[in-house]
Amino acid sequence: MLSEGNCESGILIILKNADILASEHEEAIHAATDALKSMISSCIDESLIKQGVEQISLSENKESRRSAPTIIEKICATVESLLDYHYTAVWDRVFQVVSAMFQKLGANLNDIILGS
């Protein structure tokens, strides 16, 4: 299991470099999707999901909210962006990442995806 610091920095690096999936190099595409799936599996825990759900609930209730999106919201936005036409050539790999995210979010999927 990765430490919390490694997870956060790893997630941020992957989020910044998700465009590697648009690469023409098959090895890079496979490595990037495997890294995304691994980080989703290893680094997204219940507390990270809970934080996102709480922030989204505050927004829906018109209460004050932190100025920046939570990490889970950033991850979801990045995963959603992979469904863009730029990545159609690698949707077979993208759908694996989307599936991993859906499985990880579980019952909170509706709150996180539709609420953000």
Q: Which residue has the higher pLDDT, 97 or 67?
A: 97
- Phi and psi of 84, rounded to 5°? -70, 160
Supply the pLDDT for residue 67. Answer: 62
E strand segments, 1-116: none
Give all strands (DSSP E) within 42-109, no chain letters: none
The string of pLDDT tens digits covering residues 70-109 is 888 888 888 889 999 989 999 999 999 999 999 999 888 8
**If pLDDT is split at 50, 70 and 90, which confidence band does 25 have?**
very high
Provide the domain count of the chain.
Answer: 1
Q: Which domain holds residue 102?
A: 4-115
What pTM did the predictor assign?
A: 0.81
